[in-house]
Structure 1
Amino acid sequence: MSAYFEFLLRMGDNTLILGHRVSEWCGHTPVIEEDIALANTALDLIGQTQMWLGLAAEVEGKGRTADDLAMLRDAWDFRNVLMVEKPNGDFGQTLMRQFLFDAFHLEMLKGLTTSSEPRVAEIAAKAVKEVLYHVERSGDTVIGLGDGTAESHERMQDALNLMWPYVGEMFASDDVDTEMLSTGIAPDLNQLRIAFDAHVGAVMADATLTIPDSTFAHKGGKSGFQHTEHLGHILTQMQWLQRAYPGASW
């Protein structure tokens, strides 16, 4: 498997799995405005998935499509970070997960807009416009809930404590990341972490939330192993129709 193909899978799998997770809130959010906003976020992420996995399929050159990569791989073949697999939990946990990923995603996409691969730069330029909105909205919600009532503050602190250990994996560099950096395809993860920490630190300060002392670089989805049972549950829901009726089309 080429490093470039692997990188494209990572980008597409992150948005695919998080998009599916966020879509689970449809019809269940506290207020209709949030229902619509999260549904739109999920649609944006799935749309980005189509672009990343579509390019991955072209790079692979084995006749597969974006749909094949999304619907016909098993859990151990997915390359998403573990954070996006985490169950939604309460509304605070969902928004904290969303903000932390959005903050990472924005910096990654900004870096990819100057990629040496024109197709990557093109996709990133389209996606970054959506993610600018995502991170603004999720950040504002984290601030509103964190600096809200005593209960909402406590719930958001608990959500931050739960999600923060998964941040490290997003910036843990391996051979794929090293090759992507050396060829100019992707940015330096160390530089992204600096921008991420500044952004997240400012939002958490406004939200009156305390960032835990350390993060741990979970070795898991990004490298294609040690996925949690959560991914299997997601795929059971997401891939049911295609597996029940192989090759079905509308």
Structure 2
Amino acid sequence: DQPKLGLIEAAHGGTVLLDEVGELPGPVQVKLLRVLEDQEVLRLGSVTPRKVDVRFLAATNRDLEAESRAGRFRPDLFYRLAGATLTVPPLRARADELPALVAHFAALAAVEAGVPRPELSAEALAALATHEWPGNLRELRNVVTRAVLLCRGGAVRPEHLPAFAPRRVEAASWVDDGGGTADLDPAQATERARVVGALRAHNGNQTRAAQALGISRQTFVKKLDRYGIPRPRKPVE
């Protein structure tokens, strides 16, 4: 029988994504560092190293620099991985992207379940926008997938969503009561959710929210009035 290739050797000439690399135990970190440094792998039971040409991408929810200072992650591996870094803000800080992400995950779930792509009611989008999403995209995808299965080809409504815990709100921050969503069509509901998401992401600061959406403050204020979104009493810095 031909020996089975390991994942890294099988990816020769391609890319390997190391998801949650911060969770690797110490002995595995040592082995990974050796692969990165030498560009070689050793098959199980073999004594002959084999050269590999692989690009590595690593993802983590941890602060690996802090973990390395605390002795929980190898500093040499951290610096070897940190050739170029990209910090992705948590989903709660990108609330204006929520409607597009929900639509994307709903389309994927519909294909997997073999059902028509459902409409997303304005009330459902408003409910999703109130959640802080501690699990980020994984949590969002699971919630949307569940909703698609429960709605059975109809529109996704709040009753198809989990009962989210109340969002933590600072005393001076802005809150949307979700009013004015019942009579909106899906396109209007999506735009309203983007406006609400931008305001929430920037803690009620209308100027920053408008900039995030790429529109003028005057246009942004008109959208607030058009969709019945309460204006913040004052910008929150």
TM, length-normalised to structure 1: 0.22
Structure with bigger helix share is 1
Please tell me whether Structure 1 or Structure 2 has the larger radius of gyration of its CA atoms.
2
TM-score, normalised via structure 2 length: 0.23
* Structure with greater proportional strand content: 2
Larger RCO, structures 1/2 (Cα 8 Å, 6+ apart): 1
